[in-house]
Amino acid sequence: MNSSELVDPIYGPELDSPLSDDRVLVPRLARHQIVMPDGHLVGVTVAGAGVPLVVVHGFSAEGFLYAQSLSRLVKMGFRVIAIDTAGHGATQGLPLNGQNMNAYAELLGNVIDELGIKRYIVAGHSMGGQLVTRLAAARPEQVMALMLIDAIVGDTWDWMVRAFRVNPPLLVGVGGVLLIDSASVIPTFTDPRQATKLIRLVAPTLAGHAVQPWRLLGPMMSILRTRASRHALNKIQSNDIPVFVLHGAWDVAVPHRTGVDAARRTDGVLVTVEHAGHSWILRDPETLPSIFNELLGAELGEAIRDGLQKAGLKGKGTSIKEIERVCYNRNARVFSLTAADSIPKPVGRHRRPKYGWTVDRYQGHQKVRAGQ
Protein backbone atom coordinates (compact mmCIF):
# COMPACT_ATOMS: atom_id res chain seq x y z
CA MET A 1 0.00 0.00 0.00
CA ASN A 2 1.39 3.41 -0.97
CA SER A 3 1.82 5.92 1.78
CA SER A 4 -0.76 8.71 1.74
CA GLU A 5 -1.13 12.14 3.22
CA LEU A 6 -4.88 11.65 3.39
CA VAL A 7 -6.51 11.53 6.76
CA ASP A 8 -9.13 8.86 7.35
CA PRO A 9 -12.14 9.84 5.17
CA ILE A 10 -14.64 8.00 7.35
CA TYR A 11 -16.53 10.27 9.72
CA GLY A 12 -17.41 8.58 12.99
CA PRO A 13 -18.05 5.76 13.31
CA GLU A 14 -20.76 6.13 15.90
CA LEU A 15 -20.09 2.72 17.42
CA ASP A 16 -16.75 3.98 18.76
CA SER A 17 -18.61 5.90 21.45
CA PRO A 18 -19.81 4.17 24.63
CA LEU A 19 -23.24 2.61 24.48
CA SER A 20 -25.90 4.68 26.19
CA ASP A 21 -29.60 4.53 26.89
CA ASP A 22 -30.24 7.60 24.72
CA ARG A 23 -32.29 7.25 21.58
CA VAL A 24 -30.18 7.01 18.42
CA LEU A 25 -31.11 8.84 15.21
CA VAL A 26 -30.72 6.61 12.15
CA PRO A 27 -30.92 7.99 8.57
CA ARG A 28 -33.94 7.01 6.51
CA LEU A 29 -33.34 4.99 3.34
CA ALA A 30 -35.27 6.18 0.29
CA ARG A 31 -36.69 3.68 -2.22
CA HIS A 32 -36.82 4.62 -5.90
CA GLN A 33 -37.58 2.98 -9.22
CA ILE A 34 -35.52 4.41 -12.06
CA VAL A 35 -35.92 3.93 -15.79
CA MET A 36 -32.79 2.91 -17.65
CA PRO A 37 -32.08 4.29 -21.17
CA ASP A 38 -33.36 1.02 -22.67
CA GLY A 39 -36.59 1.24 -20.64
CA HIS A 40 -35.63 -1.37 -18.03
CA LEU A 41 -37.13 -0.58 -14.61
CA VAL A 42 -34.72 -0.91 -11.67
CA GLY A 43 -35.30 -0.59 -7.92
CA VAL A 44 -32.71 1.40 -5.97
CA THR A 45 -32.51 2.24 -2.26
CA VAL A 46 -30.30 5.19 -1.34
CA ALA A 47 -29.18 7.06 1.78
CA GLY A 48 -26.26 9.10 3.03
CA ALA A 49 -23.35 10.97 1.48
CA GLY A 50 -19.67 10.25 0.96
CA VAL A 51 -17.87 7.11 -0.21
CA PRO A 52 -20.15 5.06 -2.51
CA LEU A 53 -21.04 1.65 -1.05
CA VAL A 54 -22.98 -0.42 -3.60
CA VAL A 55 -24.86 -3.29 -1.94
CA VAL A 56 -26.41 -6.29 -3.72
CA HIS A 57 -28.85 -8.63 -1.94
CA GLY A 58 -29.21 -12.39 -1.99
CA PHE A 59 -31.58 -14.69 -3.88
CA SER A 60 -35.30 -13.97 -3.26
CA ALA A 61 -34.47 -10.83 -1.24
CA GLU A 62 -34.27 -7.13 -2.17
CA GLY A 63 -32.09 -4.22 -1.17
CA PHE A 64 -34.46 -2.62 1.32
CA LEU A 65 -34.46 -5.76 3.49
CA TYR A 66 -30.99 -4.78 4.70
CA ALA A 67 -32.17 -1.31 5.76
CA GLN A 68 -31.36 -1.75 9.45
CA SER A 69 -27.68 -2.55 8.92
CA LEU A 70 -27.28 -0.13 6.00
CA SER A 71 -28.67 2.83 7.92
CA ARG A 72 -25.94 2.32 10.50
CA LEU A 73 -23.27 2.24 7.78
CA VAL A 74 -24.52 5.60 6.51
CA LYS A 75 -23.41 7.17 9.78
CA MET A 76 -19.86 5.97 9.07
CA GLY A 77 -19.48 8.25 6.03
CA PHE A 78 -20.92 6.11 3.23
CA ARG A 79 -23.51 6.83 0.59
CA VAL A 80 -25.30 3.48 0.51
CA ILE A 81 -26.76 2.41 -2.85
CA ALA A 82 -28.65 -0.91 -2.60
CA ILE A 83 -29.68 -2.18 -6.05
CA ASP A 84 -32.45 -4.72 -6.65
CA THR A 85 -31.17 -7.37 -9.06
CA ALA A 86 -33.16 -8.49 -12.09
CA GLY A 87 -36.38 -10.25 -11.12
CA HIS A 88 -36.24 -9.02 -7.52
CA GLY A 89 -37.85 -6.13 -5.69
CA ALA A 90 -38.72 -3.29 -8.06
CA THR A 91 -36.45 -4.49 -10.89
CA GLN A 92 -37.77 -6.14 -14.04
CA GLY A 93 -36.47 -9.57 -14.97
CA LEU A 94 -34.10 -10.26 -17.85
CA PRO A 95 -35.17 -11.75 -21.19
CA LEU A 96 -34.73 -15.50 -21.55
CA ASN A 97 -31.60 -15.10 -23.68
CA GLY A 98 -29.86 -13.20 -20.90
CA GLN A 99 -30.29 -15.58 -18.01
CA ASN A 100 -26.81 -16.12 -16.64
CA MET A 101 -24.85 -14.49 -13.84
CA ASN A 102 -22.79 -12.38 -16.24
CA ALA A 103 -25.97 -10.82 -17.66
CA TYR A 104 -27.18 -9.97 -14.15
CA ALA A 105 -23.78 -8.46 -13.30
CA GLU A 106 -23.80 -6.46 -16.52
CA LEU A 107 -27.15 -4.93 -15.58
CA LEU A 108 -25.71 -3.93 -12.19
CA GLY A 109 -22.79 -2.24 -13.93
CA ASN A 110 -25.15 -0.38 -16.26
CA VAL A 111 -27.19 0.85 -13.28
CA ILE A 112 -24.04 2.10 -11.55
CA ASP A 113 -23.07 3.97 -14.73
CA GLU A 114 -26.55 5.44 -15.05
CA LEU A 115 -26.37 6.70 -11.46
CA GLY A 116 -23.08 8.45 -12.26
CA ILE A 117 -20.86 6.51 -9.82
CA LYS A 118 -17.24 6.30 -10.97
CA ARG A 119 -15.44 4.59 -8.07
CA TYR A 120 -16.98 2.59 -5.22
CA ILE A 121 -16.90 -0.22 -2.71
CA VAL A 122 -19.18 -3.10 -3.66
CA ALA A 123 -20.70 -5.65 -1.28
CA GLY A 124 -22.87 -8.68 -2.03
CA HIS A 125 -24.72 -11.21 0.12
CA SER A 126 -25.22 -14.81 -1.04
CA MET A 127 -26.15 -14.69 -4.77
CA GLY A 128 -25.32 -11.00 -4.67
CA GLY A 129 -21.76 -12.00 -3.78
CA GLN A 130 -21.52 -13.95 -7.04
CA LEU A 131 -22.77 -10.93 -8.97
CA VAL A 132 -20.42 -8.39 -7.40
CA THR A 133 -17.49 -10.77 -7.91
CA ARG A 134 -18.19 -10.81 -11.64
CA LEU A 135 -18.78 -7.07 -11.63
CA ALA A 136 -15.42 -6.41 -9.92
CA ALA A 137 -13.61 -8.76 -12.31
CA ALA A 138 -15.07 -6.88 -15.29
CA ARG A 139 -14.44 -3.39 -13.82
CA PRO A 140 -11.30 -3.60 -11.67
CA GLU A 141 -10.42 0.06 -12.25
CA GLN A 142 -13.65 1.20 -10.54
CA VAL A 143 -13.75 -1.02 -7.45
CA MET A 144 -11.96 0.21 -4.32
CA ALA A 145 -12.81 -2.93 -2.34
CA LEU A 146 -14.93 -6.06 -2.66
CA MET A 147 -17.03 -7.34 0.27
CA LEU A 148 -18.33 -10.93 0.01
CA ILE A 149 -20.96 -11.84 2.62
CA ASP A 150 -21.76 -15.59 2.71
CA ALA A 151 -21.26 -15.38 -1.05
CA ILE A 152 -21.81 -18.25 -3.48
CA VAL A 153 -18.24 -18.13 -4.79
CA GLY A 154 -15.19 -20.28 -4.17
CA ASP A 155 -14.04 -23.76 -5.09
CA THR A 156 -16.44 -25.52 -2.74
CA TRP A 157 -19.45 -23.72 -4.22
CA ASP A 158 -18.24 -24.41 -7.79
CA TRP A 159 -18.09 -28.10 -6.91
CA MET A 160 -21.62 -27.91 -5.49
CA VAL A 161 -22.93 -26.33 -8.72
CA ARG A 162 -21.43 -29.17 -10.75
CA ALA A 163 -23.28 -31.60 -8.46
CA PHE A 164 -26.51 -29.62 -8.94
CA ARG A 165 -26.21 -29.98 -12.71
CA VAL A 166 -25.91 -33.74 -12.44
CA ASN A 167 -28.61 -34.04 -9.78
CA PRO A 168 -30.93 -30.97 -9.84
CA PRO A 169 -32.94 -32.09 -6.76
CA LEU A 170 -29.85 -31.25 -4.70
CA LEU A 171 -30.44 -27.59 -5.53
CA VAL A 172 -33.98 -27.93 -4.20
CA GLY A 173 -32.50 -29.32 -1.00
CA VAL A 174 -30.23 -26.29 -0.65
CA GLY A 175 -33.26 -24.09 -1.26
CA GLY A 176 -35.05 -25.83 1.60
CA VAL A 177 -32.11 -25.22 3.92
CA LEU A 178 -32.16 -21.54 2.94
CA LEU A 179 -35.88 -21.34 3.74
CA ILE A 180 -35.27 -22.80 7.19
CA ASP A 181 -32.39 -20.39 7.73
CA SER A 182 -34.55 -17.47 6.60
CA ALA A 183 -37.35 -18.49 8.95
CA SER A 184 -34.92 -18.61 11.86
CA VAL A 185 -33.87 -15.02 11.11
CA ILE A 186 -36.95 -13.68 12.91
CA PRO A 187 -36.20 -13.98 16.68
CA THR A 188 -39.85 -14.10 17.73
CA PHE A 189 -39.30 -15.03 21.34
CA THR A 190 -35.80 -13.80 22.13
CA ASP A 191 -36.25 -10.31 20.64
CA PRO A 192 -39.89 -9.45 19.86
CA ARG A 193 -39.09 -5.87 18.88
CA GLN A 194 -36.53 -6.97 16.28
CA ALA A 195 -38.97 -9.62 15.05
CA THR A 196 -41.61 -6.95 14.44
CA LYS A 197 -39.16 -4.83 12.44
CA LEU A 198 -38.07 -7.78 10.28
CA ILE A 199 -41.64 -8.87 9.60
CA ARG A 200 -42.46 -5.34 8.48
CA LEU A 201 -39.47 -5.37 6.11
CA VAL A 202 -40.05 -8.89 4.78
CA ALA A 203 -43.81 -8.62 4.18
CA PRO A 204 -43.61 -6.61 0.89
CA THR A 205 -40.97 -8.99 -0.48
CA LEU A 206 -43.09 -12.06 0.26
CA ALA A 207 -46.13 -10.38 -1.25
CA GLY A 208 -44.19 -9.70 -4.45
CA HIS A 209 -43.12 -13.35 -4.72
CA ALA A 210 -46.70 -14.49 -4.13
CA VAL A 211 -47.93 -12.36 -7.03
CA GLN A 212 -45.07 -13.20 -9.43
CA PRO A 213 -43.40 -16.43 -8.26
CA TRP A 214 -42.03 -17.18 -11.72
CA ARG A 215 -39.61 -14.25 -11.46
CA LEU A 216 -37.31 -16.35 -9.30
CA LEU A 217 -36.91 -19.11 -11.90
CA GLY A 218 -34.52 -17.02 -14.00
CA PRO A 219 -32.03 -16.30 -11.20
CA MET A 220 -32.18 -19.92 -10.03
CA MET A 221 -31.46 -21.30 -13.52
CA SER A 222 -28.68 -18.76 -14.08
CA ILE A 223 -26.78 -20.18 -11.10
CA LEU A 224 -26.65 -23.55 -12.86
CA ARG A 225 -25.60 -22.09 -16.21
CA THR A 226 -22.76 -19.87 -15.03
CA ARG A 227 -19.04 -20.51 -15.41
CA ALA A 228 -17.07 -21.40 -12.27
CA SER A 229 -16.32 -18.45 -10.01
CA ARG A 230 -12.60 -19.18 -9.74
CA HIS A 231 -11.93 -17.40 -13.05
CA ALA A 232 -13.40 -14.13 -11.75
CA LEU A 233 -11.66 -14.53 -8.38
CA ASN A 234 -8.32 -15.08 -10.11
CA LYS A 235 -8.79 -11.91 -12.14
CA ILE A 236 -9.65 -9.96 -8.99
CA GLN A 237 -6.48 -11.21 -7.29
CA SER A 238 -4.33 -10.35 -10.31
CA ASN A 239 -5.73 -6.80 -10.29
CA ASP A 240 -4.93 -6.36 -6.57
CA ILE A 241 -8.51 -5.53 -5.57
CA PRO A 242 -8.78 -5.69 -1.76
CA VAL A 243 -11.21 -8.48 -0.84
CA PHE A 244 -13.04 -8.94 2.47
CA VAL A 245 -14.90 -12.21 2.97
CA LEU A 246 -17.49 -12.28 5.79
CA HIS A 247 -18.97 -15.74 6.35
CA GLY A 248 -21.09 -17.42 9.01
CA ALA A 249 -19.35 -20.30 10.75
CA TRP A 250 -22.63 -22.26 10.85
CA ASP A 251 -23.75 -21.57 7.29
CA VAL A 252 -25.07 -24.92 6.02
CA ALA A 253 -26.45 -23.86 2.62
CA VAL A 254 -23.22 -22.11 1.58
CA PRO A 255 -20.55 -23.80 3.72
CA HIS A 256 -17.95 -21.72 5.52
CA ARG A 257 -15.31 -23.58 3.50
CA THR A 258 -16.41 -21.75 0.36
CA GLY A 259 -15.62 -18.44 2.07
CA VAL A 260 -12.19 -19.79 2.99
CA ASP A 261 -11.67 -20.72 -0.67
CA ALA A 262 -12.58 -17.20 -1.83
CA ALA A 263 -10.30 -15.49 0.71
CA ARG A 264 -7.40 -17.82 -0.09
CA ARG A 265 -7.71 -17.44 -3.87
CA THR A 266 -7.86 -13.62 -3.67
CA ASP A 267 -5.33 -13.14 -0.84
CA GLY A 268 -8.13 -11.49 1.08
CA VAL A 269 -9.25 -10.92 4.64
CA LEU A 270 -11.57 -13.61 6.07
CA VAL A 271 -13.99 -12.64 8.85
CA THR A 272 -15.65 -15.71 10.37
CA VAL A 273 -18.88 -14.77 12.15
CA GLU A 274 -19.17 -17.19 15.04
CA HIS A 275 -22.35 -19.25 15.59
CA ALA A 276 -23.94 -17.54 12.55
CA GLY A 277 -25.98 -19.08 9.75
CA HIS A 278 -26.45 -17.85 6.19
CA SER A 279 -28.59 -14.79 6.93
CA TRP A 280 -26.93 -13.40 10.05
CA ILE A 281 -26.77 -9.99 8.36
CA LEU A 282 -30.59 -9.82 8.58
CA ARG A 283 -30.92 -11.39 12.01
CA ASP A 284 -28.73 -8.84 13.78
CA PRO A 285 -28.42 -5.26 12.43
CA GLU A 286 -25.43 -4.43 14.65
CA THR A 287 -22.90 -7.10 13.63
CA LEU A 288 -22.14 -5.90 10.08
CA PRO A 289 -21.58 -2.25 11.11
CA SER A 290 -19.37 -3.41 13.98
CA ILE A 291 -17.24 -5.50 11.61
CA PHE A 292 -17.01 -2.51 9.26
CA ASN A 293 -15.93 -0.40 12.22
CA GLU A 294 -13.05 -2.77 12.96
CA LEU A 295 -11.97 -3.11 9.32
CA LEU A 296 -12.03 0.66 8.79
CA GLY A 297 -9.20 0.87 11.27
CA ALA A 298 -7.19 -1.64 9.22
CA GLU A 299 -7.25 -2.89 5.62
CA LEU A 300 -10.62 -1.43 4.59
CA GLY A 301 -9.61 2.06 5.69
CA GLU A 302 -6.36 1.68 3.75
CA ALA A 303 -8.25 0.48 0.67
CA ILE A 304 -10.53 3.53 0.79
CA ARG A 305 -7.65 5.96 1.17
CA ASP A 306 -5.74 4.28 -1.65
CA GLY A 307 -8.84 4.20 -3.86
CA LEU A 308 -9.57 7.88 -3.32
CA GLN A 309 -5.98 8.74 -4.10
CA LYS A 310 -6.11 6.75 -7.35
CA ALA A 311 -9.39 8.48 -8.19
CA GLY A 312 -7.65 11.85 -8.01
CA LEU A 313 -8.05 13.07 -4.43
CA LYS A 314 -4.80 14.76 -3.46
CA GLY A 315 -3.50 16.39 -0.30
CA LYS A 316 -5.57 16.44 2.84
CA GLY A 317 -8.94 17.46 1.42
CA THR A 318 -11.21 14.71 2.68
CA SER A 319 -14.47 16.60 3.01
CA ILE A 320 -17.63 14.90 1.75
CA LYS A 321 -17.63 17.37 -1.15
CA GLU A 322 -14.09 16.42 -2.18
CA ILE A 323 -14.78 12.70 -1.85
CA GLU A 324 -17.89 12.98 -4.00
CA ARG A 325 -16.04 15.04 -6.59
CA VAL A 326 -13.72 12.12 -7.40
CA CYS A 327 -16.17 9.24 -6.86
CA TYR A 328 -19.15 10.54 -8.87
CA ASN A 329 -19.80 12.27 -12.15
CA ARG A 330 -20.71 15.92 -11.94
CA ASN A 331 -24.49 16.21 -11.46
CA ALA A 332 -24.70 12.43 -11.04
CA ARG A 333 -28.22 11.06 -11.10
CA VAL A 334 -27.74 9.41 -7.71
CA PHE A 335 -27.61 12.88 -6.10
CA SER A 336 -31.27 13.39 -7.00
CA LEU A 337 -32.34 10.13 -5.33
CA THR A 338 -32.67 11.58 -1.87
CA ALA A 339 -35.33 10.90 0.71
CA ALA A 340 -38.44 13.06 0.51
CA ASP A 341 -38.30 13.11 4.31
CA SER A 342 -34.66 13.51 5.31
CA ILE A 343 -35.36 13.71 9.05
CA PRO A 344 -33.56 10.83 10.83
CA LYS A 345 -35.73 8.30 12.59
CA PRO A 346 -35.23 7.54 16.32
CA VAL A 347 -34.77 3.78 16.71
CA GLY A 348 -33.50 3.39 20.25
CA ARG A 349 -29.92 2.98 21.33
CA HIS A 350 -27.34 0.92 19.49
CA ARG A 351 -26.64 -2.31 21.31
CA ARG A 352 -23.71 -4.65 21.23
CA PRO A 353 -23.58 -7.04 18.24
CA LYS A 354 -25.18 -10.42 18.76
CA TYR A 355 -22.32 -12.29 17.09
CA GLY A 356 -18.59 -12.39 17.69
CA TRP A 357 -16.04 -12.89 14.91
CA THR A 358 -12.46 -13.83 14.16
CA VAL A 359 -10.22 -12.40 11.43
CA ASP A 360 -7.72 -14.31 9.28
CA ARG A 361 -5.56 -12.88 6.51
CA TYR A 362 -4.19 -14.60 3.42
CA GLN A 363 -1.08 -13.86 1.39
CA GLY A 364 0.38 -15.97 -1.39
CA HIS A 365 -2.76 -18.13 -1.09
CA GLN A 366 -1.69 -19.11 2.42
CA LYS A 367 -3.01 -18.01 5.80
CA VAL A 368 -0.72 -15.47 7.43
CA ARG A 369 0.20 -16.41 10.97
CA ALA A 370 -0.06 -13.80 13.70
CA GLY A 371 3.15 -11.82 14.00
CA GLN A 372 4.28 -12.43 10.42
Cα dihedral: 97, 98, 101, 103 (round 10): 150
Q: What is the pLDDT averaged over residues 283-303?
A: 93
Higher-pLDDT residue of 237 and 164 is 237
- 349 pLDDT band, cuts 50/70/90, is very low
- Angle at which helix 230-238 crosses helix 256-266, to 10 degrees, equals 40
Q: What is the pLDDT averaged over residues 78-106?
A: 85
Instruction: Check residue 194 and give its pLDDT.
Output: 59
- pLDDT beyond 70 at 321: yes
Beta strands in the chain (DSSP E): 25-26, 30-35, 41-48, 51-56, 78-83, 120-125, 143-149, 243-248, 269-273, 345-346, 357-363, 366-367
Could you read off the pLDDT of 130-160 as tens digits, one per residue? 999 999 999 999 999 999 999 999 999 999 9
CB 46 within 8 A of CB 334: yes
Chain-centre distance for alpha carbon 112: 14
Q: What is the DSSP letter of 154?
A: S
Higher-pLDDT residue of 235 and 343 is 235
- pLDDT beyond 60 at 348: no
The closest alpha carbon to 144, from 366, 296, 16, belongs to 296
- pLDDT beyond 50 at 9: no
Higher-pLDDT residue of 11 and 143 is 143
DSSP-derived 3-state class of residue 19: coil
Could you read off the pLDDT of 53-89 as tens digits, one per residue? 999 998 777 777 788 888 889 888 899 999 999 888 8
Q: Where is 174: in which H helix or E strand?
A: helix 169-184
User: Domain coordinates of the chain in residue numbers?
Assistant: 14-367
Average pLDDT of the residues of the chain? 81
Which CATH code is given to the segment(s) 14-367?
Answer: 3.40.50.1820
Task: Give the global pTM.
Answer: 0.84
